[in-house]
């Protein structure tokens, strides 16, 4: 278990030092949210109504953009080869790396979300539900995305391919994430039920994804 924490700490430290990861994703999140009103118009009522959906779609895109960082650097410099033959099972290595990636990119995005909500005139009572759903949903986005990132390791210019593979899998997370926030704002369903389903999706993806991603990494290593 020690090596699990070692990988986690190392990945977090590397992401902090490079600065790119979380900061870039948050920057992208900010840009997408700021250009959306330029596209749909500055009507505050309209913006308030579609804010949960806009924020969630912008979140999906920001997570998507950061995905190729999970494994790619370690794949190129051969660290993944070492980890795959090391004492820790590759599945646990993958979990550690996904967790580190979530802490360095997912969490900053969740923290930034309410600030961006202000830009879209999001109702104040929706701030807490928005952060809760994103806190519950971003791990699922990371888990599912890691499968795509692992599958495309050997592909040159895999970024576009990751989006094509992963975005359809994001549909349920998006629907229930936005659904839970909207439940607070307009009803009719209570916040609890879509939120519980969102948690269930996160748990399911937490089970599937490390196995699938580890298998995908292994096939790219031989």
Partner 1 sequence: MFDYYANPARFMKLSGVLLPWVSGLTVILFAVGLYWGLFIAPADYQQGETVRIMFIHVPAAWMATFVYGYIAFASAVSLIFKHPLADVAAKSAAPIGAAFAFLALMTGMIWGKPMWGAWWVWDARLTSVLVLFLLYMGYMALWQMIEEPIQAGRAAAILGLVGAINIPIIKFSVDWWNTLHQPASIVKGGGPAIHSSILVPLLIMIGAYMVLFTALILAAMRAEILRRRVRNMRLAQAEGGYHG
Q: Please give the DSSP secondary-structure letter assigned to residue 103.
A: I
Question: Considering beta carbons, is residue 28 or 170 the nearer one to partner 1?
Answer: 170
What is the C-alpha separation between 220 and 215, in angstroms, rounded?
9
End-to-end CA distance of the chain: 26
CB of 64 to partner 1, least distance (A): 13
Residues interacting with partner 1, by CB under 8 A? Answer: 147, 151-152, 154-155, 158, 161, 164-169, 171-172, 175-176, 179, 188-189, 194, 197, 201, 204, 208, 212, 215-216, 219-220
CB of 29 to partner 1, least distance (A): 23
- Cα dihedral sign, 188-191-197-202: positive
CB of 35 to partner 1, least distance (A): 24
Question: Considering beta carbons, is residue 108 or 179 the nearer one to partner 1?
Answer: 179
Question: Considering beta carbons, is residue 21 or 129 the nearer one to partner 1?
Answer: 129
Residue 45, CA atoms < 13 Å, CB-side half-sphere: 0
Beta carbons of 95 and 210 less than 8 angstroms apart: yes
CB of 101 to partner 1, least distance (A): 18
CB of 220 to partner 1, least distance (A): 8
Give the H/E segment covering residue 207: helix 192-221
Question: Considering beta carbons, is residue 131 or 215 the nearer one to partner 1?
Answer: 215
Question: Considering beta carbons, is residue 9 or 218 the nearer one to partner 1?
Answer: 218
Beta carbons of 213 and 146 less than 8 angstroms apart: yes
- Calculate helix-pair angle for 90-101, 127-151, nearest 10 degrees: 140
CB of 211 to partner 1, least distance (A): 9
Question: Considering beta carbons, is residue 104 or 182 the nearer one to partner 1?
Answer: 182
Tell me how long the chain is. 222
Residue 60, CA atoms < 13 Å, CB-side half-sphere: 21
């Amino acid at each position: 278990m020690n090596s699990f924490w070692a990988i986690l700490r190392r990945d977090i430290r590397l992401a902090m030092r490079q600065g790119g990861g979380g900061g870039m994703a948050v920057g992208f999140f900010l840009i997408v949210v700021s250009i959306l009103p330029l596209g749909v118009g500055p009507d505050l009522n309209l913006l308030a109504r579609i804010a949960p959906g806009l924020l969630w779609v912008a979140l999906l895109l920001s997570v998507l953009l950061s995905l190729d960082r999970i494994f790619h650097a370690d794949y190129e410099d051969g660290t993944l080869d070492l980890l795959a033959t090391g004492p820790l099972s590759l599945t646990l290595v993958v979990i550690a790396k996904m967790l580190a990636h979530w802490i360095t990119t997912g969490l900053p995005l969740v923290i930034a979300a309410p600030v961006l909500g202000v830009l879209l005139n999001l109702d104040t009572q929706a701030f807490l539900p928005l952060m809760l759903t994103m806190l519950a949903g971003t791990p699922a986005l990371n888990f599912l995305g890691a499968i795509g990132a692992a599958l495309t390791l050997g592909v040159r210019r895999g970024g576009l391919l990751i989006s094509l593979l992963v975005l359809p899998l994001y549909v349920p997370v998006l629907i229930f994430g936005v659904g839970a926030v909207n439940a607070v704002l307009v009803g009719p369903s209570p916040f609890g039920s879509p939120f519980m389903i969102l948690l269930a999706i996160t748990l399911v993806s937490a089970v599937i994804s490390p196995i699938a991603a580890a298998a995908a990494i292994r096939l790219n290593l031989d």
